[in-house]
Amino acid sequence: MADYDVIVIGAGPAGYVGAIRASQLGLNTACVEKWIDADSKPVYGGTCLNTGCIPSKALLDSSHKFAEASHDFAVHGIKVGKVSMDVPAMITHKDKVVKQLTGGIAGLFKANKVTGISGTGKLLKDKQVEVTDHDGKTQILSADNIILAAGSVPIDIPPTPIDNDVIVDSTGALEFQETPKRLGVIGAGVIGLELGSVWSRLGSEVIVLESMDSFLPMVDQQIAKEAKKLLTKQGLDIRLGAKVTGSKLKKGKSKGVTVTFEDKEGQKEENFDKLIVCVGRRPYSDSLLSDDCGVEKNERGFISVDDHCATSVPGVFAVGDIVRGPMLAHKGSEEGVMVAENIAGHKASMNYDLIPSVIYTHPEIASVGKTEEQLKNDGVEFNVGVFPFAASGRALAANDAQGMVKILADKTTDRVLGCHIIGPSAADLAQTVVVAMEFSSSAEDIGLTVFSHPALCEAVHEAALAVNGHAIHIANRKK
Give residue 426's identity as a one-letter amino acid code: A
Give, for 65, the enclosing helix (H) or strand (E). Answer: helix 53-71
pLDDT at position 147 is: 98
What is the C-alpha separation between 241 and 452, in angstroms, rounded?
A: 44
Residue 134 annotated to the active site: no
pLDDT surpasses 80 at 203? yes
Q: What share of the chain is helix, strand, coil (3-state, %, to 5)?
A: 35, 25, 40
Q: Is 123 exposed, middle or buried (0-12, 13-18, 19+ CB in 10 A)?
A: buried
pLDDT in tens, 11-44: 999 999 999 999 999 999 999 999 998 888 889 9
pTM, full prediction = 0.96
Beta strand 167-168 with 274-277: parallel, antiparallel or unpaired? parallel
Q: Which of 93, 420, 453, 473 is catalytic?
A: 453
pLDDT classification of 101: cutoffs 50, 70, 90: very high
Q: Using alpha carbons, select from 16, 47, 17 the residue that is nearest to residue 32.
A: 16
Identify the band that residue 133 occupies on the pLDDT scale cut at 50, 70 and 90.
very high
Domains of the chain with bracketed CATH: 4-154+282-353 (3.50.50.60), 167-279 (3.50.50.60), 363-467 (3.30.390.30)
What mean pLDDT comes out for the span 135-145? 97
Q: Which helix (H) or strand (E) holds 77?
A: none
Model pLDDT, residue 267: 97
Residue 366 CA: distances (Å) to CA of 72, 212, 278, 370: 24, 21, 20, 12
Which segments of 210-273 are extended strands (E)?
A: 237-239, 243-249, 257-263, 266-272
**Straight-line distance from the first to the last Cα atom of the chain, in angstroms, rounded to the nearest whole number:** 68
Residue 479 has pLDDT above 70, yes or no: no
